[in-house]
Amino acid sequence: MSPGILGAPWGMPTCLLCTCLGSSVYCDDLKLDSVPPIPKDTTHFYARYNRITKINKSDFAFMNKLKRIDLTANKISSIDDTAFLGLPELEELVIRENHISQLPALPETMTLIDASHNNIGSKGIHNEAFKDMTSLLYLYLTDNHIDYIPLPLPDSLRSLHLQRNNIQSMLEDTFCNLKDFNYIRNALEDIRLDGNPINLSRTPQAYICLPRIPIGDLI
């Protein structure tokens, strides 16, 4: 029998402790303080509203089919930096409403990253962390302690939420290529910078390639 089935906390089989539906495993609101072993063919894993404090590299080892991990509203303060790098199919990671200060390294396959409502500062994001994520669509980093927009951002990005951080300025080439005025960034229609101490009217050239002006303070 797969080690992903047995070995959950208290010796209870994971699929009795949690709810397993097809290749999705739901372990929500079970007072878990660690990630339980899960079946190796799991594609979607949910462990929201628990008491998990740390994500170890071994927690998701050899989970080659895992596409989505949702750890919303735990007490996570530490994630091994390579905990998710060995997941070749991972596309969506939701770690909002935790106590995370360092965003871990993530595979290039990501389409959605939601790390809102944490303690992440600019030093907690790897240099060029999102550069090679050519399928990334949604990046949500609302309610953190970030003081600059993490660059470069892939052309695939549709939605960037950075509300209520500490961003005070941006470069004029943050979103646009000022050397190529034919460059149009059609995909990026949703940029949220409201709640930051930045005056968007100071960098009008920063938005010439965008379909919409970012939401934020213009005075």
Q: What pLDDT, on a 0 to 100 scale, did the predictor assign at position 185? A: 94
Number of domains in the chain: 1
Mean pLDDT of the 3-31 span: 75
Instruction: Answer yes or no: is 62 within a domain.
Output: yes
* CATH number for 42: 3.80.10.10
- Does residue 6 sit within a domain? no
Q: Is residue 1 part of a domain?
A: no
Structural domain contains residue 20: yes
Contact 144, 125 (CB under 8 A): no
Q: The domain containing residue 67 runs over which residues?
A: 15-218
What average pLDDT does the structure give for the chain?
93
Residue 72 belongs to a domain: yes
User: Residue 7 domain-assigned?
Assistant: no
Residue-wise pLDDT tens digits, 24-33 = 999 999 999 9
Residue 129, domain member (yes or no): yes
SS3 state of residue 54: strand
3 band by pLDDT with thresholds 50, 70 and 90: very low
Amino acid 181: pLDDT: 80
Dihedrals φ, ψ of 160, to 5°?
Answer: -130, 110
Closest CA to 162 of 143, 177, 189: 143
* Dist CA 131 CA 136 (whole Å): 10
28, with CB counted inside 10 A (0-12, 13-18, 19+), is middle
Q: Which of 147, 215, 217, 158 is CA-nearest to residue 189?
A: 158
Give tens-digit pLDDT for 75-85.
999 999 999 99
pTM above 0.85, yes or no: yes
In a domain, 78, yes or no: yes
For residue 127, which amino acid is it? N
Q: Looking at residues 7-24, what average pLDDT do you find?
A: 75
What would the pLDDT profile of 95-112 be if each residue is shown by its tens digit?
999 999 999 999 999 999
Query: How do 24-26 and 44-46 pair as beta strands?
Result: parallel
